[in-house]
Amino acid sequence: MSPLLIIAIALSALYLFLVLYFCIGWWRMKKQEYAETNDLPFVSIIIPVRNESENIQACLKAALAQQYPKNRFEVILIDDYSTDPTLRLAREFTDSNLLVLDLMQYLGSFGEYVPNKKKAIALGVKNAKGDLILTTDGDCVMEDKWLMTMAQFYINNNYKLVTGPVMIKPAKSPLAWFQQLDVMNMLGITGATIQNGLPTMCNGANLMYAKEVFHVVEGFKGNHEVPTGDDIFLMQKINAAYDNAIGFVKNFDACVFTQPEPTFGEFVAQRVRWVSKSSRFSDIKVVSILYFAYLFNLFIVLTALACFQPVEMPWLPLAVAGGTKLFIDLAFDISLLVFFRKWLLFLLLPITEVFHILYVVVIGVLSLTGKYRWKDRLVE
């Protein structure tokens, strides 16, 4: 066997076991049911926003319309120097459960040109009346059982932080379909690794934790200078401070629906932003998984280029690596499509696999620059 084929077999075996590890975690996790109780905690829903005028009304309507006692929750919106009518539209709501805060009044004009999401969340927590904090984003909507499902799961377990599913919606273009599959895959890995006791990811669009726990780990202290990571860094700190601290709500009633990125450029910028924080992860096991996944995808690209070499069966390493990835990824993704009720996307899986490989490699390279646009701000 050629050295390239030997490497292909070795890396493919490792990737097979890695994704099988994800599959087992997801399959082991049963749908989370809950028994309703009258002893419900007060929950503060915190929504940091910037330039969300197109989505903010739908978001607030959905958040305020929860099937949860009105005297047991509040919604706190914190505007991060929006340059569009977001703040004005939010203030038009007269619901007594809504508190609208303007970050400019607390940070002054110097905060206008830097990302302030962590400061916005911290301000929301400071002003929260609730014992529990539930965060989401300004471009999200949710069904009316979302808050009840998240709260019941939290109080019926001993976790310190729980995260729930997120779905891209609507999806009416190839780019949006790809984002749906990509986000579903990430949420599957999120739930699977949490179930297996190795939390790797969470999503700030659907995150719940106790206000007391936030203060115990000192909030975002230690990573304030990192523009993003308000969700994962907080999860890592809580996971380090407590045993068996992180939970995942495998219940579609707990799902939050977020808007797809409308253009390819904005999609790339978002993914670069997500990946750029990985260099600051504190858990070496998590970092190792991320780097290996990138290395395997890069290897597949290299084996595709090697197919043009004048040797016997130059395509064999590509067939081994690419075939392994396609097989095990399909096994994992099918169970996710069933949970998220997106069965028709199954037809796109073989095609999106090819684009996913290229996308992972390109995003990994671009993230090294450390530059991206986020909410009309250039982050370096």
Question: Which helix (H) or strand (E) segment is 6 a member of?
Answer: helix 3-28
* 362 in the same domain as 262: no
pLDDT tens per residue across span 217-232? 999 988 877 767 789 9
Residue 150 belongs to domain with CATH number: 3.90.550.10
Domain membership flag for residue 162: yes
Cis peptide before 170 (omega within 30 of 0): yes
* 267 in the same domain as 172: yes
pLDDT at 380 over 80: no
Segment 129-140 mean pLDDT: 96
Domain membership flag for residue 20: yes
Domain boundary among 236, 255, 273: 273
pLDDT at 17 over 90: yes
pLDDT at 316 over 70: yes
* 145 in the same domain as 110: yes
Domain boundary among 211, 245, 273: 273
| Cβ atoms of 63 and 75 closer than 8 Å | yes
Segment 314-326 mean pLDDT: 94
* 260 in the same domain as 174: yes
DSSP class of 83 = S
pLDDT tens per residue across span 180-197? 999 999 999 999 999 999
Band the pLDDT of 317: cuts 50, 70, 90: very high
Band the pLDDT of 322: cuts 50, 70, 90: very high
Confidence at residue 166, expressed as pLDDT on a 0 to 100 scale: 95
Lowest-confidence segment of 115-124, 270-279, 354-363 by average pLDDT: 270-279
Confidence at residue 374, expressed as pLDDT on a 0 to 100 scale: 62
Domain membership flag for residue 226: yes
pLDDT at 276 over 80: no
Band the pLDDT of 278: cuts 50, 70, 90: low
* 295 in the same domain as 194: no
* 152 in the same domain as 49: yes
* 107 in the same domain as 72: yes
| Cβ atoms of 201 and 183 closer than 8 Å | no
Measured distance CA(350)–CA(330) in Å, rounded: 8
* 210 in the same domain as 118: yes
Domain membership flag for residue 278: no
Domain membership flag for residue 139: yes
Domain membership flag for residue 50: yes
Domain membership flag for residue 209: yes
* 109 in the same domain as 222: yes
Predicted TM-score (pTM) of this structure: 0.90
Confidence at residue 61, expressed as pLDDT on a 0 to 100 scale: 98
pLDDT at 47 over 80: yes
DSSP class of 168 = E
Confidence at residue 144, expressed as pLDDT on a 0 to 100 scale: 95
* 211 in the same domain as 234: yes
Domain containing 292 equals 3-26+283-379
Confidence at residue 58, expressed as pLDDT on a 0 to 100 scale: 97
pLDDT tens per residue across span 77-113? 999 999 999 999 999 999 999 999 999 999 988 777 7
SS (H, E, C) 178-237: HHHHHHHHHHHHHHHHHHCCCCCCCCCCCEEEEHHHHHHCCCCCCCCCCCCCCCHHHHHH
DSSP class of 148 = H
pLDDT tens per residue across span 140-170? 999 999 999 999 999 989 899 999 999 998 8
pLDDT tens per residue across span 21-33? 999 999 999 877 6
Report how many domains make up the chain: 2
Q: Please identify which residue in the block is written with the tokens 């009304």.
A: 57
* 334 in the same domain as 185: no
Domain membership flag for residue 36: yes
pLDDT cut 90: percent of the chain above it: 67
Domain boundary among 217, 247, 273: 273
Segment 121-133 mean pLDDT: 96
| Cβ atoms of 53 and 84 closer than 8 Å | yes
CA 359 to chain centre: 17
pLDDT at 204 over 80: yes
Listed residue (179, 363, 147) closest to 258, CA to CA:
179
- State the chain's mean pLDDT as an integer: 90
pLDDT at 281 over 90: no
pLDDT at 358 over 70: yes
Band the pLDDT of 314: cuts 50, 70, 90: confident
Confidence at residue 158, expressed as pLDDT on a 0 to 100 scale: 87
* 181 in the same domain as 50: yes
